[in-house]
Amino acid sequence: MDTIRIGTRKSKLALWQAEYVAEKLQNGGLKTELVLMETKGDMVLDVSIAKIGSKGVFTEELEEKLANGEIDIAVHSAKDMQSSLAEGFDLIAFSEREEVNDVIVSDREIDLSKEIVLGTSSTRRIATLKHFYPNVRTVEVRGNLQTRIQKMRDGLCDGLLLAFAGVHRMGYHEMIKKTLSLDEFTPAVGQGSVAIESHVSVSEEKRSKVRELINHPETEKRLLAERAFLKKLEGGCSIPVFALAHNQGENIKIDGGIVSLDGQTRIVRSLEGPDPEEIGVMLAEQLLAAGGDHILSDIKKQLKK
């Protein structure tokens, strides 16, 4: 089999993910080559993700190279993947998921009952803070983890609100001051897993071998439910929806919800069943019927302003 060409963003975290995938493929006897590139989300750092337009902000350039055959697979954080892929593209594997919690990183102790400033660019995290901790202010902070930490140390904020997985992978575990509860800070869809994207033009032999060596079936089942939920809600990075699925024997249990941008209204529902994608869609429908449709409509209007 030819070398597997792996497309990745250039950030340290993206490279960690790509090298993690490459190592697994090499251990399975495959040759690999990393192809590095920048995406719109990497280059435009002075504008929030919501204003850039969340669809494919970290994936579009990688998908172009997949489609024209320059790379065989693209490695993404699963939480960065839009809920609907263009025709010809699919996610062929999900790596084993690690801890899914949001965490607060800082050089000082953090007390959420005090009036502090946290840096984040996530609408989900901002809206959740407004709901549970209205005394906490937020400031927009983008760029790679190292850049964000430097901005914090330069006085922009007291701490950073981030995903545990990225902090852990970059070796900043000792800076975690708080691990936030999953009940309050239910994560973004796919958080903690690495997704492998491919195009139908890549040989079935390559695709099936990559899937065999990378895919973690239990994680895939969970993410299929979460992504079906997100797709039904037409959610992206700029919509504060959240979901977390768990394997319950033969069943999947999924908790999911939506919170208004001002944090005033938060709707959460749970559902359990045998078919991951069916249960994800059903949960989204329940959420919409419970008032989520109005929140979603308001959010989309506000984001267009």
> Has residue 189 been placed in a domain?
no
Higher pLDDT, 90 or 301: 90
Same domain, 55 and 203: yes
The tokens of 91 are what?
A: 């996610």
Helix (H, G, I), strand (E, B) or coil at 268: strand
**pTM score above 0.85:** yes
H or E element at residue 109: none
pLDDT at 60 over 90: no
| Span 18-29, average pLDDT | 97
One domain, residues 80 and 112? no
Q: What is the largest CA-CA distance in the chain?
A: 58
Which neighbouring-strand residues pair with 223? none
Angle subtended by helix axes 276-287 and 217-233, to nearest 10: 30
pLDDT at position 40 = 53
| Cα 135 to Cα 116: distance, rounded to the nearest angstrom | 7
Whether residue 14 sits in one domain with residue 133 = no
State the pLDDT confidence band at 108, using cuts at 50, 70 and 90.
very high
pLDDT exceeds 50 at position 49: no
């000792």: which residue's tokens? 174
Edge-to-edge strand order for the sheet containing 73-77? 32-37, 4-9, 73-77, 194-199, 89-94
Does the structure show a pLDDT above 80 at 71? Answer: yes
Report the CATH number that the domain containing residue 207 is assigned in CATH: 3.40.190.10
Q: Over the stretch 200-249, which tens digit does the pLDDT of each residue have?
A: 999 999 999 999 999 999 999 999 999 999 999 986 667 899 999 999 99
Please check whether residue 223 lies inside any domain of the structure. Answer: no
By percentage, how much of the chain surpasses pLDDT 70? Answer: 92
pLDDT on residue 143: 85
Q: Are 269 and 259 in contact (CB under 8 A)?
A: no
Q: Are residues 91 and 200 in the same domain?
A: yes
User: Residue 288 domain-assigned?
Assistant: yes
Backbone angles phi, psi at 7, to 5 degrees: -85, 135
How many distinct structural domains can be found in the chain? Answer: 3
Taken in order 13, 16, 18, 21, the sign of the CA dihedral is negative
> Over the stretch 175-209, which tens digit does the pLDDT of each residue have?
999 999 999 999 999 999 999 999 999 999 999 99
154 in catalytic set: no
**Rounded mean pLDDT of the chain?**
91
Is residue 251 one of the residues assigned to a domain?
yes
Q: Where are the alpha helices (DSSP H) in the chain?
A: 12-27, 40-43, 49-52, 60-67, 123-132, 145-153, 164-169, 204-214, 217-233, 276-287, 293-304
- Which helix or strand (DSSP H or E) is residue 289 part of? none
Average pLDDT for residues 111-140, to the nearest whole number? 96
Q: What is the pLDDT of residue 236?
A: 67
> Among the options 42, 80, 102, 255, which is catalytic?
80
Residues in a beta bridge with 72: none
Mean pLDDT confidence for 27-47? 74
Is there a single domain that holds both residue 55 and residue 204? Answer: yes
pLDDT at 33 over 80: yes
Q: How confident is the model at residue 43 (pLDDT cuts 50, 70, 90)?
A: very low
The CATH code of the domain that includes 264 is 3.30.160.40
**Residue 133 is assigned to a structural domain of this protein:** yes
pLDDT at 164: 97
Least confident of 51-55, 62-66, 145-149, 252-256: 51-55
155 and 90 in one domain? Answer: no
What is the predicted pLDDT for the residue at 169? 93
Q: What pLDDT score does 235 carry?
A: 66
Q: List the domain range (segments joined by +) for residue 245.
A: 230-304
* Res 139 pLDDT > 80: yes
The residue-averaged pLDDT of 150-160 equals: 97
Helix 12-27 to helix 145-153 angle (10° resolution) is 150
pLDDT of residue 67: 92
Mean pLDDT across 137-158: 94
Q: Are residues 160 and 290 in the same domain?
A: no
Between 237 and 157, residue with greater pLDDT: 157
Mark whether 251 and 119 lie in a shared domain.
no
- 220 occurs within a structural domain: no
**157 and 202: one domain?**
no
Q: Does residue 31 belong to any structural domain of this protein?
A: yes
The values of phi and psi at residue 280, to 5°, are: -65, -45
The band of 50, judged by pLDDT with boundaries at 50, 70 and 90, is: very low
- Span 20-37, mean pLDDT? 96
Tokens, residue 275: 């078919």
Statement to judge: residues 69 and 202 lie in one domain: yes
Q: With beta carbons less than 8 A apart as the criterion, state whether 116 and 200 touch.
A: no
User: Do both 18 and 76 map to the same domain?
Assistant: yes
Residue 60 in tokens: 């579009």
Q: Specify the pLDDT at position 47.
A: 44
How far apart (Å, rounded) are the C-alpha atoms in residues 229 and 202? 28
In a domain, 187, yes or no: no
C-alpha–C-alpha distance, residues 241 and 238, integer Å? 9
Residues 70 and 208 in one domain: yes
Residue 185: name the closest of 116, 105, 131 by CA: 131
